[in-house]
Amino acid sequence: MCSIYPFETWSKASGEPAGWLQSGFPFTPQLGFNPSNNGDSRNPTRPSWNPAFSGSVILGRPDQYFNPNAFTVPVSGTYGNVGRDTLTGPDIAELDVSALKALNIVERVNLQFRAEFFNVLNHTNYGMPNTIVYSGATSAPSPTAGVITSTATTSRQIQFGLNVNF
């Protein structure tokens, strides 16, 4: 015997958020070389702010998340004046939905069907941009400065589960 139950008898799985929004992670623009000449190759050197630059530093596009023209190479033997973690990466937004239906088959046998949908809206959440602004002292800004080449979350995923408890 098969019975069809209306959707109103389903319930949201408890303990799981329906959606979330997170601000981007801070990051620091960097140089691909060491103009301070201090011999430290472990800690990346930061550029300087470009005093002639006007406009928005954060453009928000995946092909150029930030404008590399907002920075200049510091004078040889000095450090750049850009602070640590001064820029913020892309925000992350995701909507997850899960529903379950519990059925009593017989007195001591229960059946639970779960449907889980992750990133329901299939929103693209971009990863962090390339932080290297200049790769050499005499070069123009790197063509990959501010370029985003990855995503921070997966695309839409749907999964179903069936539990039999006895």
What are the pLDDT digits (tens) for 99-153? 888 888 888 899 999 999 999 999 999 999 999 999 888 778 999 999 999 999 9
User: What is the reported pLDDT for 155?
Assistant: 93
Q: In the chain, pLDDT over 90 holds for what percent of residues?
A: 57
Q: Please, what sign has the CA dihedral across residues 74, 79, 91, 118?
A: positive
Q: Give residues with Cβ within 8 angstroms of 149, minimum separation 6.
A: 127, 130
pTM of the model: 0.77
Which residue has 């190479």 as its token pair?
A: 73
Q: In terms of pLDDT, which residue wins out, 118 or 5?
A: 118
